[in-house]
Structure 1
Amino acid sequence: MNTNRLEAFSDGVLAIIITIMVLEMKVPEGATFSALFSVLPVFLTYIMSFVYVGIYWNNHHHLMHAVTKVNGRVLWSNLNLLFWLSLFPFVTGWMGENHFETNPTVLYGIVLFMAALGFKLLVHNAIKLEGKNSKVGNVYKNDKKLVGSLLLYALGIAFSFIEPVIGIVMYSLVALFWVIPDKRIEKTLKEG
């Protein structure tokens, strides 16, 4: 099977996730700019989650250009990733509405961690299908960036129990690592 349907389905799900997140934001009462301060935590959380969905969309898109075929394992791995991403609207709203309290910030980190693990599983199964010397195998061998992200998420979760702001900073650091698309894929596709 080729990757077209998997990519189209994933694009649709990610578009819906972004739509749900923005629809969850409530308009503040009052027409003054000071009224906006009451929804600032929700808006900041939305921005972070929007960036994360964008990062996943971008990296998923690049991954699908390095993959030439899919099988059942890749399809189920992709669904696992989409499941964790589909929880973004819930944890985004909960954390923002509760002004970055401990439990919502911890759960937000857990969902980020599981989404990253889901992406790693998707990559693993794509490499298993196509081979270690394939385009996708060459791009993702020794993927320190993804492993480092998982470590930072785990630390962010742990620190969120002590001080949620530290967790938010660590989650944001991971986003900064990934905001720039992975050049290894573009380089590999040009060479191949």
Structure 2
Amino acid sequence: MSKERLVAFTDAVIAIIMTILVLDLEKPSPVTLESLWELRTSFFAYALSFFWIGIMWVNMHTGWHDVKNIDNKVVWSTMFLLFFSSFFPYVTSLVSQNSYNEVVQVFYGVIILAVTTFNTLMYRSLAAIPENKDVMVDFMAKRKWVPYDIAIKILDLIVSITIYPPAVTYSILFIMIGFGILFGRGRLA
């Protein structure tokens, strides 16, 4: 399989996932400022998931730009990444309706953690291909934050189970803000 075919497939699946996210938003009846405000949790969950997927897509675009070859490990890690990403509309809908439910928050956190894990495996598989080594060295060096990212996600899963269910959602927001700060400084290309 060519790199271009896998990238096109990944782009298409991500675009579909992002589109389904917006289709799951509730429509207020009647449409008033008050009824829109009542849906703030749904809008927050939607924005969180949309931008999480968007960050992943931007990083994939940057990381794959100069990749020369792929192999079956890359294809399968990408497939698992997309599989877990396809749960975003479902778990986002659950979070928007049950933001203080620890089972829902943990489910959301597990999906986020699975996406992060397979994203990392995908990049490691790309870097292991000899033709990609030179291009991936710089990109992988910029991903030194990943162990901290995973540690924060695991910690917040524990906090969601034991103390404060929305901890997962807020940690995702915290991590995204951190990404924004790092990206703004040119460290997260």
Instruction: Quote how far apart the aligned CAs of 1:101 are.
Output: 1.9
- C-alpha separation in 1, matches of 2:69 and 2:45: 36
Distance, in Å, in 1 between the alignment partners of 2:130 and 2:46 is: 36
Distance 2:188 2:37 in 1: 41
Distance 1:133 1:181 in 2: 26
Instruction: Show the counterpart of 1:8.
Output: 8
Identity of aligned residues (%): 27
Instruction: Go from structure 1 to structure 2 and tell me whether the alpha carbon gap of 1:79 and 1:52 turns closer, same or farther (over 3 Å shift).
Output: same
- TM-score calculated relative to the size of structure 2: 0.90
| 1:123 matched residue in structure 2 | 123
Gaps of 5+ in 1: 187-192
Give the Cα–Cα distance (whole angstroms) in 1 for the partners of residues 65 and 80 of structure 2.
20
Amino acid across the alignment from 1:160: S
Task: Note if contact 1:6-1:75 (Cα within 8 Å) is conserved in structure 2.
Answer: yes
**Alignment check: 8 A CA contact 1:84 1:115 kept:** yes
Q: Deviations over 1:134-178 (max 9, x none)?
A: 211332148321111111111111111120233322121111233
C-alpha deviation, 1:60, in angstroms: 0.8
Q: How does 1:48-63 map to 2 (within 5 A)?
A: 48-63=48-63
Show structure 2 runs of 5+ residues with no match. none
Matched with 2:144 is 144
Identify the residue that residue 24 of structure 2 maps to in structure 1: 24
**Change in CA separation of 1:42 and 1:9 when aligned onto 2, cut-off 3 Å:** same
Using structure 1 for the length normalisation, give the TM-score.
Answer: 0.88
RMSD (CA atoms): 2.1
Q: Contact between 1:132 and 1:138, CA under 8 Å: does it hold in 2?
A: no
* Number of residue pairs matched by the alignment: 186
- Whether the 8 Å contact between 1:41 and 1:100 is mirrored in structure 2 is no
- Does the CA contact (< 8 Å) of 2:105 and 2:165 recur in 1? yes
